[in-house]
Amino acid sequence: MIGRYFPTKVECYAGYRGEEEPRRFALGGRTMEIAEILDRWLDPNHRYFKVRADDDGIYLLRHDTNSGDWELDVAGHDAQSGNAS
């Protein structure tokens, strides 16, 4: 994946299967509520979540499965059109 990832704080919820899903994340001093998980996928070292936040923007979150760190892809975000490239 090509992108510009920056560390972010993500709050998660573990459902009945114990698999964590992001519920909110930090962006520029603001807490963004995740309205919908649009897509999710895995690679050997990361879990990816394409989400729609409460501002109607589309964001890509990446979770490092080894370190537990979360990152936000700022290259693919377009808040005006709500599209991620």
What was the pLDDT predicted at 2?
54
| Residue 74 tokens, joined | 């700022």
What was the pLDDT predicted at 39?
96
The answer to whether the pTM exceeds 0.85 is no
Pair 25, 11: CB distance under 8 Å:
yes
What was the pLDDT predicted at 35?
97
Q: Write out pLDDT tens, residues 30-73.
A: 999 999 999 999 999 999 999 999 999 999 999 999 999 999 99
Average pLDDT over residues 10-23: 84
E strands, the chain, in order: 5-7, 10-14, 20-27, 30-42, 46-53, 58-64, 70-73
Pair 45, 66: CB distance under 8 Å:
yes
